[in-house]
Amino acid sequence: MHNGDTIAAVSTPPGKGGVALIRCSGAEAFEIARRCFTSKSGKDIEEFPLRHAIYGHICNGAGEAIDDGILTLFPASSSYTGENVAEISCHGGVLVTRAVLQAVLEAGARPAAAGEFTRRAFLNGRLSLYEAEAIGDLLEAVNDNQMRLSSVSSRKRLREAVKAITDEMTHLVSSLYALIDFPDEDLSEMSEEEILASLQHILESLSRLASTYRTGRAISEGIETVICGRPNVGKSSLYNALCGEELAIVTSIAGTTRDLLSETVSAGRVTLRLTDTAGIRHTDQEIDEVEKIGIRRAEQALEQAELVLAVFDSSEPLTQEDLALIHNLKEKEKTVIAILNKADLPYGIDRTEIDALTPHVLSLSVQDDLSALHALIEELCIDRALSTGADAILFDARHFAAVTRATDYVRASYEAFCARLPADLAFQDIELAIGALEELDGRGVTNALVDHIFSRFCVGK
């Protein structure tokens, strides 16, 4: 299944911590553990029951004790990877953790690559690709909605929905076989009408599933969003209000004040990959080199965005700069939400031009309350009838592509049937559709794809 060498890595995050875990997996794992771990009582570690904590000393190649720790041995039949696994818990200092890993490597293991433990679990049939991907997404989730969507139970719902469709296709294929092989004998369990109805039902189920991707993607991957508007309308205030407490847990890319700021934030259930284009200007004012670079980046961000939050100051008439922005946005095919900010001040704007730009106009004060904005973003990006806790939702581009391919095949076979083409043509397409859906849980996927999926994992996972 794969080269059977024994791998090891630190499975806890780097840095100081109460405890660190060093994991070692492979045919030699128990032997390697015996070479670098001595139980407190001096009893051979293989004399202890499996899956029990053994207290003892961790030693390096020279036989010097590095730390006290706990060793647990998991047999292949009940380990994470499906191989023999030895896990050593030691004190969580940076140096001591490194020394314990070094001792395990000196005893015969090789350093694990990123995601290699989970990859082995997949190759050994301990995890489906669904579950492996769920773990990868869970590690990357930055908000509750993403976490809920990438949970193992959410994947299970998806797998069940896909299985129901695949089962119906398999049933159909067997009926078609009978029709092809014995056309004159009434062996087919299904009449032609029933076959057509079943094809129609499969198509509907696939289309319904495919349609959930819009929501899944908005939650998991997030919507590329930019904030734009002339200076002083309240862009930074909006950016900060949307970022809220999340600033502490997400990455910031901050440059000069005239550069772009980016954050991943939640707006209700939607994840936004938000960029504040502080520098966009459309007048002929003299601008310096740094500002020019900022403006170019802002234009690029605007090009890549799917959603634009265009901010205006509702206490003042539109300026030339506002009109230039409206003009610029009209030329782009983006979803635009116009925010008439500073609604707490006396109203002084003529919104005719803005209404001509977009039907989505909100009058609010970004300093006060963004709930109307959150609600509008949800309405535009997700299907509110779907529940992340109860429905099967596609949220992975790979899965969506497979479901779309399966839909195309089934549609082709439906059309072939309606056109009364030979049954074996339709049969071929349904088999291809089954193959496409089987890719979701890893059957028939290429090594390159498996490599790609596991490359997202960290070392030690």
Q: Which residues bind ligand GDP (CB under 6 A)?
A: 229, 231-237, 341-342, 344-345, 365-367
The pair of structure tokens assigned to 295 is 């403006």
Complex with ligand GDP: residue 87 or 276, whichever CB lies closer: 276
**Residue 244: DSSP 8-state:** G
* Least distance (Å) between residue 302 CB and ligand GDP: 15
**Cβ distance 348 to 317 under 8 Å?**
yes
* Least distance (Å) between residue 236 CB and ligand GDP: 3
Complex with ligand GDP: residue 49 or 346, whichever CB lies closer: 346
Alpha-carbon distance of 97 to 117, in angstroms, equals 19
| Closest to 166 in 3D by CA, of 445, 433, 439, 443 | 433
Complex with ligand GDP: residue 32 or 280, whichever CB lies closer: 280
Complex with ligand GDP: residue 233 or 310, whichever CB lies closer: 233
Q: How far is CA 15 from CA 11, 314, 424, in A?
A: 12, 50, 61
| Closest to 211 in 3D by CA, of 201, 221, 203, 222 | 203
Complex with ligand GDP: residue 143 or 365, whichever CB lies closer: 365
Long-range contacts of 171-178 (CB under 8 A, 24+ apart): 171/198, 172/198, 172/199, 172/202, 172/430, 173/427, 173/430, 173/431, 173/434, 176/423, 176/424, 176/426, 176/427, 176/430, 177/427
* Least distance (Å) between residue 234 CB and ligand GDP: 3
Complex with ligand GDP: residue 345 or 418, whichever CB lies closer: 345
Per DSSP, the chain holds a count of helices (H) and strands (E) of 16, 13
* Least distance (Å) between residue 291 CB and ligand GDP: 14
**Residue 439: DSSP 8-state:** G
What count of Cα atoms within 13 Å lies in the side-chain half-sphere of residue 272?
A: 28
86 - beta bridge partners?
24, 73
CA 460 to chain centroid, in Å, comes to 20
Complex with ligand GDP: residue 150 or 225, whichever CB lies closer: 225
* Least distance (Å) between residue 58 CB and ligand GDP: 55
The pair of structure tokens assigned to 191 is 């009449």
Q: If DSSP codes are grouped into helix, strand and coil, which group holds residue 21?
A: strand
* Least distance (Å) between residue 301 CB and ligand GDP: 15
* Least distance (Å) between residue 279 CB and ligand GDP: 10
The pair of structure tokens assigned to 148 is 């809920």
* Identity of the residue numbered 316: E
338 - beta bridge partners?
310, 361
Alpha-carbon distance of 410 to 440, in angstroms, equals 17
* Least distance (Å) between residue 203 CB and ligand GDP: 49
Complex with ligand GDP: residue 223 or 233, whichever CB lies closer: 233
* Least distance (Å) between residue 379 CB and ligand GDP: 22
